[in-house]
Chains A and B, each alone.
Chain A
Amino acid sequence: MIRVENLTKTFDQFTAVKGISFDVEQGEIFAFLGPNGAGKTTTIKMLTTLLRPTSGAIHLNGLDPWVKQKEARQSFGIVFQDPSLDNEQTAYENMELHGVLYHVPRKVRAERIERLLTTFELWERRNDYAKTFSGGMKRRLEIARGLLHTPKILFLDEPTLGLDPQSRNQLWTHVKHLNETEQTTVFLTTHYMDEADRVAHRIAIMDHGAIVAQGTSAELKERTGSDSLEGAFLALTGESLRDEGADSKDQMRQFAKMWRGR
């Protein structure tokens, strides 16, 4: 369903993703784990046509998303790591806009919006502006929106960031259900090892732009001789913190870019 070969992304001089390869089967839940700055979001951006890879090949559902852009985009749904709602529109309008952009026929649209907003307990608040929502409610709305066009592949970049345990539980239950009933392929990233352990069929661990291990949770634990996924994760990626001083570096980069006009 997703096939990636030698995928690389270089920003200026910095290589964020270093020739990674992996396959995700149809109907599989695949978790991408890795410390901050590992390159998870960059990978998702390349898979979802937001960033052009420096080199390497991507196949989504058999299509090269850069060639068959429209078909590829129609086939996936995405929940971004950062917020992406229109705060000046209501929850319903946000859904409606998404439905129109994804060619969901009017009749079906109204039904599905109602069902999804009900599922994520937002129906009562449908006419409130997104800016009046709490962080968790915004997140739920984004997830509901990503499901509106019944995507075959679902990309979830830290979908549970900022959610309370109830919402997290409900979200993963819903994702699992979708995966079982509709065979939706799920590609997720998270920093919560217990979530990955619970929902993912297979896991890839990424560090410094490269995949350092992949397999089932049991395989990873066995390989590292740990009794928890967290233990395996730490054994594979080390204990030191990542991205020190990234802020000032980022600022410099920003500044340099502005003067070069792009």
Chain B
Amino acid sequence: MGAIYILWLREMKRYIRSRVQIVVSLGQPALYLLALGFGFGPVFQKAGEGSYLQFMAPGVIGMTVLFSSIFSGIAMLWDRQFGFLKETLVAPVPRIQIMIGRTLGGATVAMIQGVLILVICLVAGFRPQHWIAVPAAFVFVMMIAVVFAALGTGIGSIIKDMQGFQLIMNFLVMPIFFLSGALYPLKNLPRVLTWITNADPLSYGVDGLRGVLTGLWAFPYALDVAVLCGLAAVFLTMGAWLFSRIQL
């Protein structure tokens, strides 16, 4: 247990110490929120869909958690390059504990980021249907964070250089975000796009957040929870397996 805690703590320290990075990583979603939220607002309203800010705020929270959690896993690349990964890999501790410590650390950071961006949304004028909705939304933030932190750890165990990192960012993380319904409603889409969005794990996370916060659901509530929990189990297992196979 000590190993899990100390590696979790390390992620927390890194997060708290990188103040510039906190600002940078919150700046991007804040920009989406302001530029798109207010920019598309009038069009959205005219189409009879209500307030775009109300609609997209949960999406932006989902995006923040996605980027932050998956990035923390992929950041293993730096530990590999600067060599620290070796130190943890030869320690007399089951690899699974190392993996869990890192993953939970990354997930915790992502949750904090998610909460911070929720606060920014509130400041920008977003209003949840109920104040009780906020703790319920936190549960979804948690699930999204664990799913993608575990996925990130799995990916981080495989990629070995910057090219791999770019590849993952452009061909996995960005599509997960854009095809998740974070920015637009998932109804009346072309058939192919519907299949793809239904296969995107983040769709269920964003839907859960939006449903809880604004009452607008695209999938049944139970489906969102089931998919996220199932994927968390799958990605954690897969991540643990890939991590256990790292050789240097």
Contacts and interface: CB of A to CB of B under 8 A. Distances in A.
Contacts of B248: 45, 50-51
A83 B82 contact: yes
Interface size grouping (class) on chain A: 35 or more
Contact of B6 (A49, A82, A87, A100): A100
B134 interface: no
A74 B161 contact: no
B83 A80 contact: yes
B92 A70 contact: yes
Q: Which label, helix, strand, loop or mixed, suits the secondary structure of the B interface?
A: helix
A78 interface: yes
Contacts of B94: 70
Given A50-B247, A254-B161, A102 B92 contact: yes
Interface stretch (B9-17, B116-124, B174-182, B205-213): B9-17
Contacts of B86: 50, 80, 82, 84
B17 A88 contact: yes
B132 interface: no
Nearest to B248: A50
A108 B2 CA distance: 16
A86 B87 CA distance: 9
A101 interface: yes
Contacts, number: 80
B96 interface: no
Given A52-B247, A84-B83, A262 B92 contact: no
B91 A86 contact: no
B185 to A, nearest CB: 36
B84 interface: yes
A93 to B, nearest CB: 8
Contact of B3 (A80, A101, A145): A101
A93 B92 CA distance: 18
A258 B83 contact: no
B83 A82 contact: yes
B39 interface: no
Contacts of B79: 86
Contact of A73 (B17, B83, B90): B90
Contacts of B160: 254, 257-258
A73 B27 CA distance: 44
B88 interface: yes
A261 interface: yes
Contact of A97 (B10, B17, B90): B10
B163 interface: yes
B158 interface: yes
Contacts of A101: 2-3, 6, 87-88, 91-93
Contacts of A88: 13-14, 17
B90 A89 contact: no
Contacts of A254: 160-161
A48 B83 contact: no
A147 B117 CA distance: 44
A83 B85 CA distance: 10
B90 to A, nearest CB: 5
Interface of A: 45, 48-52, 69-74, 78, 80, 82-89, 93, 96-98, 100-103, 145, 254, 257-258, 261-262
Given A72-B92, A258-B163, 19 more contacts: A50-B90, A50-B248, A69-B92, A73-B92, A82-B86, A84-B83, A84-B87, A86-B87, A89-B10, A89-B13, A97-B6, A97-B7, A98-B91, A100-B3, A101-B3, A101-B87, A101-B93, A257-B160, A258-B161
